[in-house]
Structure 1
Amino acid sequence: MFEKEYDVIVVGGGHAGAEATAAAANMGSRTLLVTMNLQTIGQMSCNPAMGGIAKGQIVREIDALGGYSGVITDKSAIQFKMLNKSKGPAMWSPRAQNDRMRFAEEWRLALENTPNADFYQEMVSGLLVEGEKVVGVRTSLGIDIRGKAVVLTNGTFLNGLIHIGEKQFGGGRAGEKSATGITEQLVDIGFDSGRMKTGTPPRVDGRSLDYSKMIVQPGDDNPDKFSYLDTPVLKEQRDCFMTHTSNLVHDLLREGFDRSPMFNGRIKSIGPRYCPSIEDKIHRFADKDRHQIFVEPEGWHTVEVYVNGFSTSLPEDVQYKALKSVKGFENVKFFRPGYAIEYDYFPPTQLKHTLETKLLENLYFAGQINGTTGYEEAASQGLMAGINAHLKIQEKEAFVLKRDEAYIGVLIDDLITKGTEEPYRMFTSRAEYRTLLRQDNADLRLTPKGYELGLAKEERMQRMEQKQEKSKNFVDFFKKTSFTKEEINPILELVDSAKVTQSDKLFKVFSRPRVTMDHMLQIDSVANYVEENKLDSEVLEQAEIQVKYSGYIEKEKNNADKLHRLESVRIPDNFDYSKLKSLSFEAREKLEAIRPVTISQASRISGVSPADISVLLVFLGR
């Protein structure tokens, strides 16, 4: 069946595996996606949504590089919101509700229409290893498939164990069996592994809910989209709803705590801090008498509803009794109860920045196997692993994004350098250069890189160049065009800003906090320029940000340049830290384990102090 050797074999068809397959195949590698169920490629295992705080920026970055997640999201969206619009543009984050079935279908069709991509449905039970190099995979039927590189994206399936109250059974997801064999083999080889936990709420019948008792949560009036390509914009949207728990609900949930695997010791692993179960929330925040519940439709036509905020592993009878006491859920019917799942992961400090493992050459890890949580975090790792697996076998230079270039760069650097002992989730606060890493400029930052790799196609590059040129020219227009006090003072008076006494350049008055692009468009010269040059909303937004935040952007660029100077100080591959007696014991231990490539990376390792960095710099002759 598999006489030929593949260039890249991807194990697992979730968000990481789908992006890895697309990236490697589109760059020219003969790629095989092996997954336990071809019907669940790109499955939204948890909530039916993409994006959110910092996660939306990641989806835009994937799209800018030539990945598929943004396009798939736009094609299957049922609602769109730009979060944090009341804050500065560095905080704006796109989020879409999706039709779960259409999302998976669009992923399947996109991959089937990708040249060089093959598919096979079976469980991978082990790796083919020769010396210290991976050369393929072995399936549960005993079939050996040879490949030059292997990307593992096993999600929650490695020795997955599902908990519902006192019941537990093997599984990687509701209705699907777990995967065995890989963890045991990797541990025998010398890898460290651990266990993590995540959970999911009940799914219910929307026909049994009383939405009149809930608060409606509509999408944006003028919805945007994720992809920089010409994907569809939503003409109509489905509403979400919000309700709340109560003290009664909390008391009913507490009645089942003695049967909860979280509290009786059956679950020993750590769950996601920022997406806790409902029992964890009422235990940790006992002073709060209510918590938000978001009621999210699963698609355009299905009646299935996702109960966001009610993730739980309590017994199903306790879940049902408590949820019936939530306003609007009095007559609720369950499609399936919530559950918790424990699974194996491998601490990501065992990886290089390319996501290749340090112990086995040509083996890459991406997604929850690295200790992350979230579709977006997984998809971005899959993209980077697929890119680097292709580049490695082509003997080309690796592709690594720096912390000031992308949230993807921050994510991977955090994992490699700091590791994680709980499911890692991206936030804007994790990025020290977030003014540079906005959702609106991901194409300007990354499409040239994607194009150079051969992943982003000509159409993307042309659209990016047009946007870049038009935005720059528009900003230049503001810098060189003057206003009269007669045309600007009425606007300034309207926004309660100090009037001017003489003419000046538009750039200067546009830089004021309360003056917006809409105000500028009331000036004839600006309105005429926009009309003559056919500027779209994307260019207007980009120009406004460049004008208003130019000082902040320049400051962050200068800070990033300082970081790059430390990035250029490389540490030899086999550097012997034991020689440096001036290093602290903890620093020696951490540096030896993680083996940073540069001084900059070393400085970000927890336990390595500025004094330790000074010792290294002196020794390296700097």
Structure 2
Amino acid sequence: MFQEVYDVIVVGAGHAGSEAAAAAANMGCKTLLVTMSLQNIAQMSCNPAMGGIAKGQIVREIDALGGYSGIVSDKTAIQFKMLNKSKGPAMWSPRVQSDRMRFAETWRLMLEQTPNLDFYQEMVRGLLIHNHKIQGIVTSLGVEIKAKTVVLTNGTFLNGLIHIGEKQFGGGRAGESAAFGITEDLVKFGFESGRMKTGTPPRVDGRSLDYSKMYEEPGDVNPDKFSYLDITQPLKHQKLCHMTYTSNLVHDILREGFDRSPMFNGRIQSLGPRYCPSIEDKINRFADKERHQLFIEPEGWDTVEVYVNGFSTSLPEDVQYKALRSVAGFEKVKFFRPGYAIEYDYFPPTQLKHTLETKLVEGLYFAGQINGTTGYEEAASQGLMAGINAALKVKEQEPFILKRDQAYIGVLIDDLITKGTEEPYRMFTSRAEFRTLLRQDNADSRLTPLSYNIGLASEKRLKRMEYKFNESEKMVQFFKETSVTPEEANPILLANESTPMNQSDKMFKVFSRPQINLDDMLKFEKVTAFIEENQLDREIIEQAEIQVKYSGYIEKERNNANKLVRLEDVKIPEHFDYSLIKSMSIEAKQKLTKIRPVTISQASRISGVSPSDISVLLIYMGR
């Protein structure tokens, strides 16, 4: 049936598997994507959205490298928001609300149009391994398919177990069966495995909701997009999201079901995502809170299905229903399906190399939730890197590894490999010590040349990046070379409560003032004339603005990073009391107190201890 030997076989077609297959195929490798359901390629199992804090940066990085996630997100977006705009650009994070059905459809059609990529629908139950080297896969029908490399992206399907109250049944996600055999094969070959948990809220009928009792959550007035390519355009029309709140009454109803909750009666032993807790976990951990936010997110342009973000739960369906009916606007709610929790197998990622190749079996790669991460974006980025490195291995070329100062993807993989994780890992800006460098706006200039050199990013993508970079540099140089008189500048400075000038100065210095923004600079005729003459678009102008206003911060961050490297081996006193450090995160205090690291170097490798936590610790120790 399968006579040829594939260069790369990708097992699983979620976000990680889809990116892995696209990358390997686009790099010229004969690739096979095997999935249990071709109808659910890149399915959004949880919330219908891409991006968010730090996650938006990852999607931009995937796009800059030549992946598909940014393009698909743009093509299927129903609302766009740039989060954290009130903060500095290092914190800006794009997020789109997506049309769930169109998202999966668009992914499948893009993959089907990708040369060198074959598809096969069946469950994989085992691996072909000889002398610690991958040889291929075995399906549930006993079909053996040979390959030079294999990428496992099994998501929540490995021995998946779904919980709804007292009920539990096998499944990879709602309506789909679990996958069996791979875990047992890997354990037999010496791999260590564990169990993790995640959950999802109920889906409801939007026609049964009273939106007049909720708060409107519109998208940006001038929406942006994810992909750096011009094949997609920003949204012209957007769908409204809404927000409402739980209440003490809702919490009391939920508490009535705690004795029937698998989280509290011991049926679920594994750890769930710390930063995406279930509603029962929230009201248990934050008992002093009278209410919690719920974001009401439409699942698409035309469907009436709605996602209740913030109400993830595994409580019995009758308790879910009763509690949700007590939420403002949900008095007459109708369920499409109840929320549920799912337990699944994962493999501690310390068993991997930085290429995501396993240390025990040559040519075998892990990507996504199998490595203990949570989130579409984290999974997609790992899939991309695993697909790239599998292709490079087949070609006998040097591996592709991103460093911590090059990409959030580099931070993510280094954290997983170096620190491991005992709970689902989620990316945050605070995990990156170089976050001023790793902005969402400059992912293309950071990564596209690297990807072009390995044969993934296209020449069109590279030339577009070079044009943007060169034009923004030209504009920065214009600000450095062009003078402005007090007569021109002072009216603008005084209007912004900034100290007036006594003599002419360069525009760069005026623009660098914290009170002055881009809109102020556009009041100078010299600036608008330069923009019109060079036909500069918003993306280039904003890039120049960031380079001008944050050049000092970037230089300072590089210096601080160098100091941190030199101090990695500083000893921590044996009985150091971490509880005394008020500005350190609660998670860091818990982990450091439990593990008792001997050195700063060891502390920095502990999952949940961020670079900012280490900086606080160094300051507290007088370093």
TM over 0.5: yes
| Residue 523 of structure 1: how far off its partner (Å) | 0.5
Query: What is aligned with 2:234?
Result: 233
Query: What is aligned with 1:59?
Result: 59
Q: Distance in 2 between matches of 1:35 and 1:539?
A: 41
Deviations 1:105-130 (A, max 9, x none): 00000000000000000000000001
Letter in 1 for 2:416: L
Query: What is aligned with 2:480?
Result: 479
Query: What is aligned with 1:193?
Result: 193
Deviations 1:68-109 (A, max 9, x none): 000000000000000000000000000000000000000000
Secondary structure of 1:440's counterpart equals: coil
| Residue 342 of structure 1: how far off its partner (Å) | 0.2
Deviations 1:369-424 (A, max 9, x none): 00000000000000000000010111100000000000000000000000000000
User: Contact between 2:7 and 2:391, CA under 8 Å: does it hold in 1?
Assistant: yes
Q: Distance in 1 between matches of 2:525 and 2:552?
A: 27
**Cα distance change of structure 1 residues 291 and 603 upon mapping to structure 2, 3 Å threshold:** closer
Letter in 2 for 1:143: V
Secondary structure of 2:442's counterpart equals: helix
Q: Distance in 1 between matches of 2:387 and 2:462?
A: 21
Query: What is aligned with 1:509?
Result: 510
Query: What is aligned with 1:224?
Result: 224
Query: What is aligned with 2:49?
Result: 49
Query: What is aligned with 2:443?
Result: 442
Query: What is aligned with 1:589?
Result: none
Q: Distance in 1 between matches of 2:461 and 2:61?
A: 13
Query: What is aligned with 1:273?
Result: 274
The within-5 A match list for 1:397-476 is 397-476=398-477
Letter in 1 for 2:255: R
User: Contact between 1:162 and 1:170, CA under 8 Å: does it hold in 2?
Assistant: yes
**Cα distance change of structure 1 residues 86 and 520 upon mapping to structure 2, 3 Å threshold:** same
The within-5 A match list for 1:187-586 is 187-230=187-230, 231-559=232-560
Letter in 2 for 1:91: M
User: Contact between 1:295 and 1:308, CA under 8 Å: does it hold in 2?
Assistant: yes
Q: Distance in 1 between matches of 2:602 and 2:421?
A: 16
Deviations 1:321-377 (A, max 9, x none): 000000000000000000000000000000000000000000000000000000000
**Cα distance change of structure 1 residues 119 and 525 upon mapping to structure 2, 3 Å threshold:** same
User: Contact between 2:433 and 2:561, CA under 8 Å: does it hold in 1?
Assistant: no
Q: Distance in 2 between matches of 1:65 and 1:294?
A: 32
Deviations 1:156-176 (A, max 9, x none): 000000000000000000000
User: Contact between 2:89 and 2:439, CA under 8 Å: does it hold in 1?
Assistant: yes
Query: What is aligned with 1:135?
Result: 135
Q: Distance in 1 between matches of 2:565 and 2:282?
A: 41
Secondary structure of 2:254's counterpart equals: helix
| Residue 556 of structure 1: how far off its partner (Å) | 2.6
| Residue 233 of structure 1: how far off its partner (Å) | 1.3
| Residue 560 of structure 1: how far off its partner (Å) | 5.1
**Cα distance change of structure 1 residues 353 and 562 upon mapping to structure 2, 3 Å threshold:** farther
| Residue 563 of structure 1: how far off its partner (Å) | 7.7
Secondary structure of 1:293's counterpart equals: strand
Kindly tell me the number of residue pairs found equivalent between the two proteins.
578
User: Contact between 1:417 and 1:601, CA under 8 Å: does it hold in 2?
Assistant: no
**Cα distance change of structure 1 residues 457 and 601 upon mapping to structure 2, 3 Å threshold:** farther
Q: Distance in 1 between matches of 2:600 and 2:465?
A: 31
Q: Distance in 2 between matches of 1:416 and 1:563?
A: 20
Q: Distance in 2 between matches of 1:477 and 1:182?
A: 59
User: Contact between 1:42 and 1:104, CA under 8 Å: does it hold in 2?
Assistant: yes
| Residue 188 of structure 1: how far off its partner (Å) | 1.1
Query: What is aligned with 1:158?
Result: 158
Query: What is aligned with 1:174?
Result: 174
Query: What is aligned with 1:74?
Result: 74
**Cα distance change of structure 1 residues 565 and 449 upon mapping to structure 2, 3 Å threshold:** farther
| Residue 450 of structure 1: how far off its partner (Å) | 1.0
Letter in 2 for 1:419: G
Q: Distance in 2 between matches of 1:516 and 1:140?
A: 61
Q: Distance in 2 between matches of 1:152 and 1:562?
A: 39
Query: What is aligned with 2:25?
Result: 25
Letter in 1 for 2:113: N
Query: What is aligned with 1:594?
Result: none
Q: Distance in 2 between matches of 1:498 and 1:45?
A: 54
Q: Aligned residues: percent identity?
A: 77
The within-5 A match list for 1:91-106 is 91-106=91-106
The within-5 A match list for 1:579-618 is 604-606=604-606
Secondary structure of 2:441's counterpart equals: helix
| Residue 603 of structure 1: how far off its partner (Å) | 8.4
| Structure 1 residue 34 corresponds to structure 2 residue 37 | no
User: Contact between 1:511 and 1:547, CA under 8 Å: does it hold in 2?
Assistant: yes
Q: Distance in 2 between matches of 1:28 and 1:602?
A: 41
User: Contact between 1:417 and 1:604, CA under 8 Å: does it hold in 2?
Assistant: no
Secondary structure of 2:264's counterpart equals: coil
Deviations 1:188-208 (A, max 9, x none): 111100000000000000000
| Residue 602 of structure 1: how far off its partner (Å) | 7.6
| Residue 601 of structure 1: how far off its partner (Å) | 8.8
Residue segments in structure 1 that go unaligned for 5+ positions in a row = 568-583, 585-598, 609-622
Q: Distance in 2 between matches of 1:565 and 1:535?
A: 42
Letter in 2 for 1:104: A
Q: Distance in 2 between matches of 1:361 and 1:600?
A: 33
Q: Distance in 1 between matches of 2:438 and 2:501?
A: 34
| Residue 564 of structure 1: how far off its partner (Å) | 8.5
User: Contact between 1:404 and 1:560, CA under 8 Å: does it hold in 2?
Assistant: no
Q: Distance in 2 between matches of 1:270 and 1:307?
A: 22
Secondary structure of 1:340's counterpart equals: strand
| Residue 606 of structure 1: how far off its partner (Å) | 3.9
Q: Distance in 2 between matches of 1:222 and 1:115?
A: 36
User: Contact between 1:9 and 1:149, CA under 8 Å: does it hold in 2?
Assistant: yes
Range that drifts further, 428-437 or 552-561: 552-561
